[in-house]
Amino acid sequence: MKEREAYAFIMKHDQKRRRHVFPDSNGFTLIEVIICLTILMIVASLMPLMIVSIHSAHNQIEANNEPQWDLFIIQFRNEVKLHEIQKVEPQKLTLKSTDGNVISFSKYETLLRRQVNGAGHEIYLTALKGINFSISNEMLSLEVTFSDGTKKEARFIDNHAKSAGKYNASRSPAVHSDFIFGRTPAHLKPPTNRSL
């Protein structure tokens, strides 16, 4: 009998010890699985909405470049018409006014700014990635790349150089009228897909 009691005592003590082998281990319960799946379903259902929002924001930014560009072309054309071109660099254009002021257009960070005699900060274009000024004969060329990848190009006639005889008028290139007014011709525009 004593053996039986000893065996029962050992078994009882052994069962207590087995129950407490991993006392802090809690299993991954069904409630936790349901909560994780619910969170996953919510995130997955919001993904298409986020993608559509990003796409529409991109289209809105692209659309905002058009009025900015059109207004810039009008202002810039007047500047080139009224002032004499002094120096053309890829990132900077320097003009001289009739009263002796030096007017410069240069890229500053992501902006195209205008300065008079090295002072001032008039912003003409925003969200620029790159800009390139160049001149050939009496044509000033301007190529702009916006931060969204949109490229614009415009050409302007340098009337001061033409009247001063700086360039040979017989060598002037044939220019499409859209370039003179700063519009990008249809064959140079990237295709746009505005449908959702």
Domain tally, the chain: 1
Q: Is residue 182 part of a domain?
A: yes
In a domain, 196, yes or no: no
First-to-last CA distance in the chain?
A: 86
Question: What pLDDT digit, counting tens, does each position of 135-157 carry?
Answer: 998 899 999 999 888 899 999 98
Can you tell me the distance from the alpha carbon of 54 to that of 66, in angstroms, rounded to the nearest whole number?
Answer: 20
pLDDT reported for residue 186: 52
Question: Does residue 50 lie in a domain region?
Answer: no
- Domain assignment present for residue 87? The answer is yes
Residue 27 lies in a domain: no
* Identity of residue 177: S
Do 167 and 188 contact (CB within 8 A), yes or no?
Answer: no
pLDDT tens digits along 33-42 = 899 999 999 9
Q: What pTM, to 2 d.p., does this model score? A: 0.55
- Round to whole Å and give the CA distance between 161 and 77: 15
Q: Is the pLDDT of residue 63 over 70?
A: no
On whether residue 116 sits in a domain, the answer given is: yes
Tell me the residue range of the domain where 96 lies. Answer: 57-188
Whether 18 is in a domain gets the answer no
Residue 119 falls inside a structural domain: yes
Do 151 and 135 meet the contact criterion of CB atoms below 8 Å apart?
Answer: no
What DSSP string describes 124-137?
Answer: EE-SEEEEEEEEET
Residue 14 confidence (pLDDT) above 90 = no
Q: In 153-192, which positions are buried (b, 16+ CB within 10 angstroms) versus exposed (e)?
A: bbbbbbebbeeeeebeeeeeeeeeeebeebbbeeeeeeee
